[in-house]
Amino acid sequence: MHIDQIILREIPLALREPFRISSGAIHERRILLLELYDRSGARAWSECIAGEAPNYSPETIDTAWIIVEQYAATRLLGRNVEHPGAVHAILERDLRGHQMAKAGLEMGCWGLAATIAEEPLGRFIGGTRSEVDVGISLGIQASPEALVDRARRAVEDGYRKVKIKIEPGRDVEWVRTVRAELGPKPHLMADANNAYTLDDADHLAEFDDLGLIMIEQPLAWDDLVRHAELQRRIRTPICLDESITSLERAQDMVTLGSGRIVNIKPGRVGGFASSIAIHDYCQQAGVPVWCGGMFESGVGRAYNVALASLPNFTIPGDISPSARYWKADVVHPEWTMHDGRIRVPLDTPGIGVAVDEDRIINSAVRTALLRA
C-alpha cells in the first residue's frame, strides 16, 4: 500500500430527530469523511467520528481536522506501508491522544488494503459472522411516557437491545416504568455518559432489580478506579465506553475490576488494530464486547459492521440501520435491518457499500487535499 493523496471533507447531515445524552444534545451531525488514494489507483472512504463539541471526549471535528491535516497524514503520504496493522504504531509515535483523528486515517488504511486485496473488509480482518445483531440507543426523552413509547416501538421494530440514556432525575424510575410496561424479556441497558459520582452508588444500586444487561459509563469519562469501587457496590455489570481508549485501558479495567463488559468504538481507541487487540484480549479474559456508535454516516457504519463480525462481539451493537438516523444516507445501498440484524457485506470487496460521491462533493462545507 502506498498512499499518495488524502482528501478531507466536512458535510452536514441532519438527524431525523434530535438526540440528547446527559452531556449535551445534537440536531445535526458535522461528518468528517476521508478519501484515501493508493498509487495503484485504488481508493477507499473512511470517517472520523469526532463530535461537534468536546462533551464526549476531548476531541472535536475541528481538532481532528487539524491533527490529520497538520500532523498525522504526512506520516502516511508517500510511504510504503506493508500492512494496515502497522499504521497504529506509525501514528502513535510522539503524537499523544487524538485517537479519533488517528482512527479516521487508520481505518481508511484497512478499507484501502481490503479493497486492494479484493476482499470484503469483515473477512479481511478475520470476521466470522455474516450478520450482526442490532440494538438502538434512545436519547433522553421529555417524559417517562415518551420513553416507554419509543422503547415499545423499538422492540416492535425488532431491535435486539434497547439502550436508554439516563441522567440524574431521569433514571431508575424511568427505566423501571419501561421494564414494567415492556415486561421481563427485552434486553435493556442504561447509558449515563458520566452523569454520576461515587456518592450516587446507593442510588445506582437501585437498578439491580430491573434486570439490565449492563449500565454504561456511569462515572467520569477517564475514570477506572472509582468504577471499580462502584462495581463492588452494584450487581448490574458495568460496561465502559469513554474510559477505554486503548488496549492498555481495557487491561486496566480487567485488572482493577472497573467493569465486566467493553463497548468498542473503533474511532475512540485509535482504529481497527487497537479494536482487534481489545477484542482478542477481552475474548481470552472472558469479557464480552459490543460495538458502540457515534451517529456515524453509512461510511463509518460500514467499518462498525465489519468490526462487529468478529467472534467476541456477542452483544448487539449500537449499529442501527441508516433510516434510524438520516432522511437519506450517503451510501448505497443504505444499511437496513431484517429481523433485528444487519447483513455483513460479503460479496463486495472493501467497505461493501458505494459512496454517493456527487452528493458529498456538492454538500462539502470544507475540503482539504493532502498530497505526498
Type of residue numbered 362: N
Which positions are annotated as active-site residues?
A: 165, 265
- Contacts of residue 19, defined as CB under 8 A and 6 or more positions apart, other chains included, come to 25, 26, 139, 295
Return the axis-axis angle of helices 298-307 and 99-116, rounded to nearest 10°: 80
Of residues 329 through 348, those in contact with Mg ion by CB under 5 A are none
Q: Which three cell numbers mark 72?
A: 498525522
State which of residues 68, 318, 340, 342 lies at the interface with ligand OSB (CB under 6 A): 318
CB 29 within 8 Å of CB 12: yes
Part in contact with Mg ion (CB under 5 A); list of ranges 200-208, 211-219, 251-259, 309-317: 211-219
Of residues 220 through 249, those in contact with Mg ion by CB under 5 A are 241
Q: Does 60 engage in binding with ligand OSB (CB under 6 A)?
A: no
CA 214 – CA 122 distance, rounded (Å): 27
Part in contact with Mg ion (CB under 5 A); list of ranges 63-71, 123-131, 187-195, 340-348: 187-195
CB 61 within 8 Å of CB 229: no
Q: Does 295 engage in binding with ligand OSB (CB under 6 A)?
A: yes
Residue 137 binding target from Mg ion, ligand OSB, none, CB below 5 to 8 Å by type = ligand OSB
Of 74 and 246, CB closest to ligand OSB: 246
- Contacts of residue 187, defined as CB under 8 A and 6 or more positions apart, other chains included, come to 135, 160, 161, 162, 213, 316
State which of residues 193, 194, 245, 312 lies at the interface with ligand OSB (CB under 6 A): 193
User: Do β-strands 188-191 and 215-216 pair in parallel, antiparallel, or remain unpaired?
Assistant: parallel
Helix (H) or strand (E) holding 11: strand 3-21
Of 59 and 191, CB closest to Mg ion: 191
Of 179 and 265, CB closest to ligand OSB: 265
Of 293 and 352, CB closest to ligand OSB: 293
Using CB under 6 A, list all residues that contact ligand OSB.
Answer: 21, 56, 137, 191, 193, 241, 292-295, 318, 320
